[in-house]
Amino acid sequence: MISDIAFWGFGLVALLGGAAVFYVNSMARATYALALSFVAVGLQVLFLQQNYVGVVTILMMVMEMAIMAVYMVMFMGMNPALMPMSMVHGNRTAIAVALTTFLGLAAGILMVDWPARLGGPSSDVTMALGESLMGPKMLVMAVISPVMVATIVAGVVLAAHRTRYDRLGDDLKQRPADDPQPGGVGR
């Protein structure tokens, strides 16, 4: 009974936190409203006995929102992120898309012929979830991960305006490197 109430309570917090992201007028509040929403979802996942997934959700999402604060000053010229600002734009299109998506998903939930449960849940549901998600596709996952890392590295290399020739000189022999922000190990 109490756990039912707590589960639905966290669900409500998650929904309201998600809605607050678009309602508030500050980047910081929007960011941490989203964090609150995800923490509530993580706590709900604990009720599904997916303890690892729940705790990792909380960990990753809070960390991600903290990193968002770094992006706020890294990529936004003149730091409008630090001033009050509206969190919505393109209202008409957004409302239309949101309503259509909601109606589509809700219709799907109501119309799908849900299967009846076969057998009981496994004793380690986290392991079962992992196997059903990844099991037969492990090779694909193992191939995709290095490709994704390579894409990230390549993206950063292409985006950086300074190259190794700027750092180390035309013959790559200049030590220490000429960096606008010198690092701590004297490379």
Q: What residues make contact with another protein under the rule CB under 8 A?
A: 3-4, 7, 26, 28-29, 32, 35, 46-49, 51-52, 55-56, 58-59, 62-63, 65-67, 69-70, 73, 82, 181-185, 187
**Residue with Cβ nearer another protein (67 or 150):** 67
Please give the structure tokens belonging to residue 13: 């917090």
Pick from 22, 17, 49, 47: nearest CA to 35 = 17
Task: For residues 48 and 120, give the distance between their C-alpha atoms in angstroms, rounded to a whole number.
Answer: 14
Residues 6+ apart with CB under 8 A from 68: 31
CB 68 to another protein: min, Å: 10
**Residue with Cβ nearer another protein (86 or 93):** 86
Q: Are 117 and 44 in contact (CB under 8 A)?
A: no
**Residue with Cβ nearer another protein (85 or 94):** 85
**Residue with Cβ nearer another protein (111 or 185):** 185
CB 183 to another protein: min, Å: 3
Tokens 């992201």 correspond to 21
